[in-house]
């Protein structure tokens, strides 16, 4: 299963990262019963994007629901890995599935940035995170269309990092609410989390730019 995942993700070996390897193994374990039920990867892809949107919607119910939103974020993250696991186990990967998965990921990225804002971060910081994320992924997609093999490099700002940031924002906001700290403290903590996200996104973009430059500068148009 690890080799099949690697083939679907541009040759990246999940064994090179303890967390990635464990995530792939968990995704495969969750995928097995779904494979037996005949559920397709595309169905899980759409469900994952929908669940992320639900997590964002839940935050509008108020701070008392932030813990629920955090749980829903984790569910969406699991679904995000399960669709690829089903495709690897069944050999059902298609080009349309790749396109759909990319669309769902970008949809989810925007909602994850919105969740950080709902935790108390300034709206402009969510916009910055979303723009940098879309710029990073747009650059990667353009480079792949130009002939770059695989993702170019694994940056510090990949999908797991974005999910973790939104999850932490919800957990911290929940704790702050439960403890009864002042709103100013909540906003400061949320802004700090958003700042970390924006910093990681910037570093990730620079990492990808260097990798893209090295791999495409010798390719002819």
Summarize pLDDT for 2-49 with one digit per residue, the tens. 666 666 666 666 666 666 677 778 888 888 898 899 999 999 999 999
pLDDT score at 121? 97
Q: Cα(first)–Cα(last) distance of the chain, in Å?
A: 36
> What is the spatial distance between Cα 31 and Cα 124, in angstroms, rounded to a whole number?
38
State whether residue 221 is helix, strand or coil. Answer: coil
How high is the mean pLDDT of the chain?
A: 90
Percent of the chain with pLDDT over 90: 62
> pLDDT by residue (tens digit) across 71-123?
999 999 999 889 888 988 888 778 898 899 999 999 999 999 999 999 999 99
CB 39 within 8 A of CB 86: yes
Give backbone dihedrals phi and psi of 146, rounded to 5 degrees, phi first. Answer: -85, -5
Q: Are 115 and 56 in contact (CB under 8 A)?
A: yes
pTM exceeds 0.85, yes or no: yes
With bands split at pLDDT 50, 70 and 90, how would you rate the model's confidence at 210?
very high
Give the pLDDT confidence score for residue 81 in this predicted structure.
85
């Amino acid at each position: 299963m690890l080799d099949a995942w690697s083939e679907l993700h541009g040759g990246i070996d999940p064994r090179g990262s303890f967390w990635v390897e464990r995530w792939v193994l968990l995704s495969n374990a969750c995928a097995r019963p779904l494979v037996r039920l005949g559920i397709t990867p595309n169905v899980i892809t759409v469900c994952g994007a929908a669940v992320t949107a639900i997590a964002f919607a839940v935050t509008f119910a108020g701070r008392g629901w932030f813990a629920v939103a955090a749980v829903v974020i984790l569910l969406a993250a699991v679904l995000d890995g399960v669709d690829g696991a089903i495709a690897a186990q069944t050999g059902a990967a298609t080009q349309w599935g790749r396109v759909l998965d990319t669309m769902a990921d970008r949809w989810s990225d925007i909602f994850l940035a919105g969740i950080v804002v709902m935790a108390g971060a300034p709206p402009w910081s969510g916009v910055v995170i979303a723009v940098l994320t879309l710029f990073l992924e747009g650059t990667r997609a353009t480079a792949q269309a130009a002939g770059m093999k695989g993702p170019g490099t694994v940056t510090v700002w990949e999908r797991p990092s974005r999910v973790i940031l939104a999850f932490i924002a919800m957990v911290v906001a929940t704790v702050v609410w439960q403890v009864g700290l002042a709103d100013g403290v909540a906003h400061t903590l949320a802004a700090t989390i958003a700042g970390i996200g924006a910093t990681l996104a910037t570093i990730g973009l620079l990492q990808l730019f260097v990798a893209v430059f090295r791999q495409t500068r010798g390719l002819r148009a």
